[in-house]
């Protein structure tokens, strides 16, 4: 009897171990899929940022030299740099609130009750009247102008400081934080670490709530500037479109005032002289004493500097496969590569002056070739509120600008050193040695930064001396990541609170959540492959010739290397191949059949010119940005002539030839309602890819 009992227990233990082993393998496979999905989303996101930076000089030229047609815009150009004159321009008093308005009515000075009312209104999807929007923004602008570049606050045993990362227009996340943690007050101070706007649909609502609490509790609510608090970035990533869509009459004035507010946001926060909070990070040249003295309001956009950084570093970039090594800091290499170059400021000023002249000259030439007849002059100096004599070309200004850019754009890496951030296209990557040196030099013990989406909402690196916090849950897709915020008491030990704002995600199992995000990531990747069809075919043919294989056949390794050479996303293509390619023959990839499979994703437009179609899809975000710059009256409508000029200007920049007849036919095909003008919404709808598999 005892022997049978022993055998029974032994079998039960063996079965339990087998189940445990199976479950661990199951979870490990899901984790691998989740990480691969994550890399796809992040690679595509960073590729978009690189694209934006490469076209900065192009966008900047349009912003500087395209003379607006509207009388309001002409009025703006006549305003000097006086605060008083700008405040008159932004004055809300001439704007009446009609009796039909059903949203919240605000009184000033702002009170806790007033901001609470605002939060409730936005929770129920009500819109604040433009008069109140301008009033809140105006009061915020006045307050920010007296704040220092670096905010200092002290912890207390009786209350914790709450630190939030990127929100990116996701109002649900902010409301959930307030629900779980409480509203800001003297007893509950908050630090919001930048990137309040873009991508999400409620960026303006988030700003108004945060600004409202800042006005009520200026000593207990602290807002740091992020890299998305930048009007050039906003053109590309949705905030400009959001504001103009919600406030068609006063949207432009709101955006102009926000541009000034963004430039006055503080750059960093320090707790108890021990914890530094900044949006992006640091570099080997970071000096908080210099940052404390920077005229931050003179730096309206950091993109001008990104272009100069690219020039400064020349071709001495980082290999593409470096992206894979720096994408996640959760797995450190035991033997970090040596010889990574440190950045140098030598000869920066001289080389920039020469290159800036040549770029301006080239863009002016392209503008003339494109047929623009608007007047243009020399590149403008920064739009300073108080010092119109600021010299952008001085070496001091360059150095201060670099300090700000590194603070807003940089990312940590596991290897020692400090190198240009080739993945994002701007800022730098800094290693543990730089962290130790900079924190040690300023007698700090911890750097809290944001700027990077993390699957768990937070992540330590550099021997737990650098902490990334990200507060926008489901950033890439439902279930892609948790959001998190930090509670920090007098002991300066961070405590994390994680959450998922989406109820749908909370109801999914782990397998369902991974499957959901994986399908979305692969669909996004297929779109990237679709718009690079011609380049991919050329790369495959070249690889086939070198390996002497049959027509249309290529080895999996050649397929992976050719795909990476075209897309440059730094992804594990050999791992992804089974999910992307089903056309194989004897272990070889039939790329001709695979190209037919890619047609499962089709455009709505019917255009016979394949090269033009691919050019459109590769640059549709840039085209939308250009359209919004040229649409100076913000009517959302663009004439055929403006459409032609836009295409001519972009094609000259891309060094492609597009005839007037082709552009005319394209304009007519996009003009769905045939009213003789192109609605920007029509334009973007034309670029929406349709997944035919979803309808089959």
CATH code assigned at 465: 3.60.21.10
Please give the backbone phi and psi of residue 77, each rounded to the nearest 5 degrees, phi first.
Answer: -65, -20
What band does 687 get if pLDDT is binned at 50, 70 and 90? low
What band does 547 get if pLDDT is binned at 50, 70 and 90? low
Beta-bridged to residue 418, according to DSSP, are 430
> Does residue 100 carry a pLDDT above 70?
yes
Q: Which of 52-61, 284-293, 309-318 has the lowest mean pLDDT?
A: 309-318
The CATH number assigned to the domain holding 659 equals 1.10.238.10
Pairing of strands 466-469, 458-461: antiparallel
> What's the CA angle centered on 634, arms 263 and 234, to 5 degrees?
35
Exposure of 227 in the CB half-sphere (CA atoms within 13 A): 28
What band does 102 get if pLDDT is binned at 50, 70 and 90? very high
Q: Pick the residue with more confidence: 375 or 365?
A: 365
Q: Sign of torsion, CA 177 178 180 186? A: positive
Q: Are 193 and 167 in contact (CB under 8 A)?
A: no
> What's the CA angle centered on 41, arms 195 and 416, to 5 degrees?
75
Residue 329 lies in a domain: no
What is the rounded average pLDDT of the residues 144-155? 95
Number of domains in the chain: 3
Choose one of 432, 466, 500: the last residue of a domain.
Answer: 500
What band does 373 get if pLDDT is binned at 50, 70 and 90? very low
Give the active site residue among 168, 228, 231, 352.
228
For residues 276 and 140, state if they share a domain: yes
Residue 682 lies in a domain: yes
What band does 81 get if pLDDT is binned at 50, 70 and 90? low
Q: Pick the residue with more confidence: 70 or 138?
A: 138
> Does residue 175 carry a pLDDT above 80?
yes
What is the rounded average pLDDT of the residues 360-379? 42
Q: Report the candidate in 232, 223, 234 with the shortest Cα–Cα distance to residue 200.
A: 234
| Torsion from C-alpha of 513, 519, 522, 526, nearest 10 degrees | -160
- At residue 160, the pLDDT reads 94
pLDDT in tens, 650-663: 777 666 777 788 77
Residue 391 lies in a domain: no
Residue 397 lies in a domain: no
For residues 493 and 544, state if they share a domain: no
For residues 446 and 591, state if they share a domain: no
- At residue 382, the pLDDT reads 43
Instruction: Using DSSP, state whether 381 is helix, strand or coil.
Output: coil
| CA–CA separation, 678 and 682 (whole Å) | 7
What band does 689 get if pLDDT is binned at 50, 70 and 90? low
- At residue 367, the pLDDT reads 44
Q: Pick the residue with more confidence: 667 or 503?
A: 667
> What's the CA angle centered on 123, arms 121 and 126, to 5 degrees?
45
Residue 84 lies in a domain: no
Residue 322 lies in a domain: no
- At residue 488, the pLDDT reads 96
> Does residue 695 carry a pLDDT above 60?
no
- Surface-to-core class of residue 98, CB atoms within 10 Å of its CB (0-12 exposed, 13-18 middle, 19+ buried): exposed
Residue 214 lies in a domain: yes
For residues 518 and 579, state if they share a domain: yes
> Does residue 154 carry a pLDDT above 80?
yes
- At residue 69, the pLDDT reads 38
For residues 418 and 464, state if they share a domain: yes
For residues 494 and 519, state if they share a domain: no
What is the full DSSP assignment across 472-497? -TTSSSTTS--EEEEEE-TT--EEEE
Q: Are 159 and 107 in contact (CB under 8 A)?
A: no
For residues 592 and 621, state if they share a domain: no
Q: Pick the residue with more confidence: 509 or 265?
A: 265
For residues 156 and 217, state if they share a domain: yes
> Does residue 177 carry a pLDDT above 60?
yes
How many separate helices (H) and strands (E) can be counted in the chain? Answer: 28, 21
Which residues contact residue 79 at a Cβ distance below 8 angstroms, ignoring those fewer than 6 apart?
85, 86, 89
pTM above 0.75, yes or no: yes
Q: Are 640 and 666 in contact (CB under 8 A)?
A: no
For residue 172, give its domain range.
Answer: 103-305+408-500
| CA–CA separation, 470 and 454 (whole Å) | 6
Which residues contact residue 693 at a Cβ distance below 8 angstroms, ignoring those fewer than 6 apart?
600
Choose one of 538, 570, 602: the last residue of a domain.
Answer: 602
> Does residue 329 carry a pLDDT above 70?
no
> Does residue 267 carry a pLDDT above 50?
yes
Residue 396 lies in a domain: no
| CA–CA separation, 119 and 590 (whole Å) | 56
Q: Are 254 and 197 in contact (CB under 8 A)?
A: no
- At residue 334, the pLDDT reads 34
What is the rounded average pLDDT of the residues 122-134? 96
Catalytic status, residue 228: yes
Pairing of strands 677-679, 637-639: antiparallel
> What's the CA angle centered on 136, arms 133 and 142, to 5 degrees?
135
For residues 159 and 206, state if they share a domain: yes
Choose one of 500, 534, 557: the last residue of a domain.
Answer: 500
For residues 115 and 227, state if they share a domain: yes
| Torsion from C-alpha of 197, 202, 208, 213, nearest 10 degrees | -90
Q: Where are the alpha helices (DSSP H) in 508-585?
A: 510-530, 533-547, 556-567, 573-580
Q: Which two tokens stand for residue 429?
A: 């990557």
Exposure of 236 in the CB half-sphere (CA atoms within 13 A): 23
- Surface-to-core class of residue 641, CB atoms within 10 Å of its CB (0-12 exposed, 13-18 middle, 19+ buried): exposed
- At residue 629, the pLDDT reads 65
Q: Sign of torsion, CA 377 78 294 487? A: negative
What is the rounded average pLDDT of the residues 516-529? 84
For residues 188 and 267, state if they share a domain: yes
| CA–CA separation, 532 and 547 (whole Å) | 23
For residues 567 and 456, state if they share a domain: no
């Amino acid at each position: 009897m005892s022997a049978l009992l022993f055998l029974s227990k032994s079998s039960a233990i063996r079965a339990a171990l087998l189940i445990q082993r199976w479950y661990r393998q199951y979870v490990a496979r899901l984790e691998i899929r989740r990480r691969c999905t994550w890399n796809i989303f992040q690679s595509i996101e960073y590729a978009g940022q690189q694209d934006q930076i490469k076209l900065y000089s192009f966008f900047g030229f349009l912003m500087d030299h395209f003379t607006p047609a509207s009388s309001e815009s002409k009025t703006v150009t006549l305003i000097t740099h006086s605060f008083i004159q700008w405040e008159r321009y932004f004055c809300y008093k001439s704007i009446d609130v009609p009796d039909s308005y059903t949203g919240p009515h605000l009184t000033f000075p702002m009170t806790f009750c007033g901001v609470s009312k605002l939060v409730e209104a936005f929770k129920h999807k009500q819109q604040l009247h433009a008069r109140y929007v301008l009033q809140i923004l105006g009061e915020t602008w006045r307050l920010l102008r007296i704040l220092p570049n670096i905010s200092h606050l002290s912890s207390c045993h009786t209350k914790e400081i709450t630190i939030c990362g990127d929100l990116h227009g996701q109002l649900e996340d902010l409301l959930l934080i307030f629900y779980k943690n409480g509203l800001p007050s003297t007893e509950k101070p908050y630090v919001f670490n930048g990137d309040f706007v873009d991508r999400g649909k409620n960026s303006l609502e988030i700003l108004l709530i945060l600004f409202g609490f800042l006005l009520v509790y200026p000593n207990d609510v602290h807002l740091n500037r992020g890299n998305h608090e930048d009007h050039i970035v906003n053109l590309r990533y949705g905030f400009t479109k959001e504001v103009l869509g919600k406030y068609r009459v006063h949207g432009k004035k709101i955006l102009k005032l926000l541009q000034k507010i963004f430039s006055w946001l503080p750059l960093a926060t320090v707790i108890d002289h021990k914890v530094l909070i900044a949006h992006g990070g640091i570099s080997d040249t970071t000096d908080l004493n210099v940052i404390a003295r920077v005229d931050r309001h003179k730096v309206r956009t950091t993109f001008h500097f990104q272009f100069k950084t690219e020039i400064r570093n020349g071709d001495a970039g980082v290999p593409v496969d470096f992206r894979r090594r720096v994408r996640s800091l959760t797995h450190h290499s035991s033997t970090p590569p040596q010889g990574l170059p440190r950045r140098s400021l030598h000869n920066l000023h001289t080389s920039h002056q020469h290159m800036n002249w040549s770029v301006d000259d080239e863009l002016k030439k392209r503008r003339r070739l494109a047929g623009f007849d608007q007047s243009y002059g020399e590149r403008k100096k920064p739009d300073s509120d108080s010092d119109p004599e600021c010299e952008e070309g001085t070496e001091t200004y360059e150095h201060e600008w670099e300090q700000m850019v590194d603070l807003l754009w940089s990312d940590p890496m596991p290897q020692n050193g400090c190198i240009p951030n080739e993945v994002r296209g701007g800022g730098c990557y800094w290693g543990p040695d730089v962290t130790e040196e900079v924190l040690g030099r300023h007698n700090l013990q911890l750097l809290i930064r944001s700027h990077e989406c993390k699957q768990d909402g937070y992540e330590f690196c550099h021997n737990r001396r650098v902490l990334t916090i990200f507060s926008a849950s489901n950033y890439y897709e439902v279930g892609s990541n948790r959001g998190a915020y930090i509670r920090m008491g007098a002991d300066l030990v961070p405590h994390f609170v994680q959450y998922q704002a989406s109820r749908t995600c909370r109801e999914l199992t782990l397998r369902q959540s991974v499957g959901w995000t994986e399908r979305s990531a692969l669909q996004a990747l297929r779109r990237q492959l679709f718009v690079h069809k011609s380049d991919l075919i050329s790369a495959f043919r070249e690889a086939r010739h070198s390996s002497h294989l049959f027509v249309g056949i290529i080895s999996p390794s050649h397929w992976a290397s050719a795909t990476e050479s075209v897309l440059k996303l730094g992804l594990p293509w050999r791992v992804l191949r089974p999910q992307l390619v089903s056309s194989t023959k004897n272990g070889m990839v039939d790329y001709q059949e695979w190209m037919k499979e890619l047609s499962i994703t089709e455009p709505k437009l019917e255009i016979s010119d394949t090269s033009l179609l691919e050019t459109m899809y590769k640059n549709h975000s840039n085209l939308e940005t250009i359209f919004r710059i040229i649409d100076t009256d913000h009517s959302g409508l663009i004439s055929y002539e403006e459409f032609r000029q836009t295409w001519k200007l972009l094609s000259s920049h891309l060094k492609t030839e597009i005839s007037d007849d082709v552009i005319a036919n394209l304009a007519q095909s996009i003009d769905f309602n045939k009213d003789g003008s192109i609605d920007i919404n029509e334009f973007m709808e034309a670029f929406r890819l349709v997944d035919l598999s979803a309808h089959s």
